[in-house]
Amino acid sequence: MVDHLELDKVAPFLIKLFEIVSSPASDNLVCWSEHGESFKIVDRTKFAQDVLPFYFKHDNLRSFIRQLNIYGFQRCQNSSGRDRTMEFFHPMFTRNGMRNLKDIKRGNQSKKNDTVEDGVDEVEQPQAKRPRVDYSTFKTDVARLQKNLEEFEHDLKQHTLQVQQKLAYILSALDDTPGAVQQPPADSEQRGSSPELSAGALL
């Protein structure tokens, strides 16, 4: 269906990672966070032993994390105090965002547009070392949602079109059938028109 995920443009590591995190079978070892915006390694040892060698040529947690870092994932500090759980995050790696995978690049091949100036001039403010909230994740987050939305819209249009065509075909076939409905398909966007049988109206 959605065949333009362009998985061929996505690094193998990311595809495997998505599969690993999404696979329900290993949810007790590694899984999405509640809202699917990050993922957790629950049992480091078992994860390394049982999951890694199935997808990679090693069973080494550190190598796995090295890859995460290379692709720009950030470690999230676990909320609770002493939790052995590890949590990682990348703005383009989300449960429902498989289509964003192709925008995750490795190493320092980052897109320059991440460094926009916030509308605040970068003049020195030497008075105090302001910890200064980092809005960049918000921005990339918004960008991601924006993009998702656009693509969903596109998909929806495609889908609508297809259904329309199929229905039109069915209706025309019915038309040719003696004793079938005579009513031709009306166009889709009509407001206040009398309710009638039409492909467009069904969408």
Query: Smallest distance from the beta carbon of 38 to DNA, in angstroms?
Result: 13
Residues 103-122 that bind DNA (CB under 7 A): 106, 108
The b/e string for 84-93 (b: 16+ C-beta within 10 A; e otherwise) is eebbbbbbbb
Query: Smallest distance from the beta carbon of 15 to DNA, in angstroms?
Result: 8
Contact code string over 73-92 relative to DNA, x by CB under 7 A: -xx-----------------
Query: Smallest distance from the beta carbon of 175 to DNA, in angstroms?
Result: 49
CB nearer to DNA: pick between 8 and 176: 8
Residues 40-69 that bind DNA (CB under 7 A): 56-58, 60, 62-63, 65-67, 69
Query: Smallest distance from the beta carbon of 159 to DNA, in angstroms?
Result: 31
Q: What's the chain's Rg over C-alpha atoms?
A: 25
- With 0-12 / 13-18 / 19 or more C-beta atoms within 10 angstroms meaning exposed / middle / buried, residue 79 is exposed
Binding status of residue 140 toward DNA by CB under 7 A:
no
Structure tokens at 74: 């950030």
Q: Residues near 68 by Cβ (< 8 Å), separated by ≥ 6?
A: 17, 88
Size of the site for DNA (CB under 7 A): 18
CB nearer to DNA: pick between 107 and 195: 107
Binding status of residue 184 toward DNA by CB under 7 A:
no
- Going from the C-alpha of 183 to that of each of 120, 179, 195, the distances in angstroms are 62, 12, 12
Binding status of residue 194 toward DNA by CB under 7 A:
no
Of residues 175, 181, 187, 102, the one with CA closest to residue 144: 102
Distance from C-alpha of 157 to C-alpha of 155, rounded to nearest angstrom = 5
Residues forming the site for DNA (CB under 7 A): 11-13, 56-58, 60, 62-63, 65-67, 69-70, 74-75, 106, 108
